[in-house]
Amino acid sequence: GQNIDQPTEMTATEGAIVQINCTYQTSGFNGLFWYQQHAGEAPTFLSYNVLDGLEEKGRFSSFLSRSKGYSYLLLKELQMKDSASYLCAVKAGNNRKLIWGLGTSLAVNP
Amino acid sequence: GAGVSQSPSNKVTEKGKDVELRCDPISGHTALYWYRQRLGQGLEFLIYFQGNSAPDKSGLPSDRFSAERTGESVSTLTIQRTQQEDSAVYLCASSLGLSGGGYDTQYFGPGTRLTVL
């Protein structure tokens, strides 16, 4: 079957670093996406990984290990506005349809 | 440029009534997706359109749900005889589709919040 696992909730402190993990088991792999979703809003694209390694984009970085079926999203210098749900999604084959995790709700405290 | 738009933003209806939700994708995007998101839950895939190909309807929860799309333009999601469990936010997304290569990012609209009384 197809399965994506993420922690349900995380808490961190303003200015700190937090790592949100995502593990996946899918039949085929063609890329992994991270999206951010603020409460009451639509998801917005953060990052895409298809090759192993780290992709850095400002305060956010995303890592992928295809052999381990594992990714993480790293958020540095946390700000209050980073409080949101972070969704991991995998493209399992040539079909454009994504398989979505349930999301990790991150609370950033002062 | 213009993003994905959806209408209405909110819809309150009575149980048993039909509703129609609309999605305008980003111009040039050949792929269009509908999702359902219940309060505090993840995204639930409903249906996927790619150009003029037959849509992937594998996520539609029952035959009360249907969707149409003409070419690469507007799509409508119709829910017949609405039930209280249909209450959710319905999100539409579009992407470049087959012309987008591997990096085929989905861009989401603001959603329609449906409440069935």
B49-71: pLDDT as tens digits: 988 888 999 999 999 999 999 87
Please state, in angstroms and rounded to a whole number, the distance separating the CA atoms of residues B103 and B38: 28
What amino acid occupies position B43?
A: L
Using alpha carbons, select from B109, B115, B37 the residue that is nearest to residue B75.
B109
Please state, in angstroms and rounded to a whole number, the distance separating the CA atoms of residues B16 and B36: 19
pLDDT of residue B102: 61
Asked if pLDDT for residue A57 goes beyond 80, the answer is: yes
pLDDT of residue B97: 79
What amino acid occupies position A30?
A: N
The SS3 of residue B7 is strand
Question: With bands split at pLDDT 50, 70 and 90, how would you rate the model's confidence at A28?
Answer: confident
* Side-chain half-sphere CA neighbours of B82 within 13 A: 21
Least Cα separation, residue A40 to chain B (angstroms): 9
Average pLDDT over residues A28-57: 93
Question: With bands split at pLDDT 50, 70 and 90, how would you rate the model's confidence at A89?
Answer: very high
Average pLDDT, chain B: 92
Report the residue of chain A nearest B50, measured CA to CA.
Answer: A96
Q: What is the length of chain A? A: 110
Whether omega for the bond prior to residue B8 falls within 30 degrees of 0, making it cis, is yes
In sequence order, the 6+-apart residues with CB closer than 8 A to the CB of B40 are none
Report the residue of chain A nearest B92, measured CA to CA.
Answer: A42
Asked if pLDDT for residue A94 goes beyond 80, the answer is: no
pLDDT of residue B116: 97
The helix/strand count (H/E) of chain A reads as: 0, 11
Question: With bands split at pLDDT 50, 70 and 90, how would you rate the model's confidence at A96?
Answer: low
Block residue for tokens 């984009």: A57
Average pLDDT, chain A: 93
pLDDT of residue A35: 97
Least Cα separation, residue A78 to chain B (angstroms): 23
Strand A53-57 to A104-109 pairing: unpaired
Per-residue pLDDT reduced to its tens digit, B87-111: 999 999 999 877 656 678 899 999 9
Asked if residue A107 lies in contact with residue A16, where contact means CB atoms within 8 angstroms, the answer is no
Asked if residue A78 lies in contact with residue A16, where contact means CB atoms within 8 angstroms, the answer is yes
pLDDT of residue B79: 98
Using alpha carbons, select from B40, B115, B27, B112 the residue that is nearest to residue B77.
B112
Asked if residue B112 lies in contact with residue B9, where contact means CB atoms within 8 angstroms, the answer is yes
Using alpha carbons, select from A5, A108, A6, A88 the residue that is nearest to residue A45.
A88
Question: With bands split at pLDDT 50, 70 and 90, how would you rate the model's confidence at A27?
Answer: confident
Asked if pLDDT for residue A93 goes beyond 80, the answer is: no
Q: Which two tokens stand for residue B17?
A: 């009534």
pLDDT of residue B101: 62
Do residue A50 and residue B48 have CB atoms under 8 angstroms apart?
Answer: no
Residue of A99 and B21 predicted with greater confidence: B21
Please state, in angstroms and rounded to a whole number, the distance separating the CA atoms of residues A66 and B5: 35
Average pLDDT over residues A48-77: 96
Do residue B33 and residue A44 have CB atoms under 8 angstroms apart?
Answer: no
What amino acid occupies position B101?
A: G
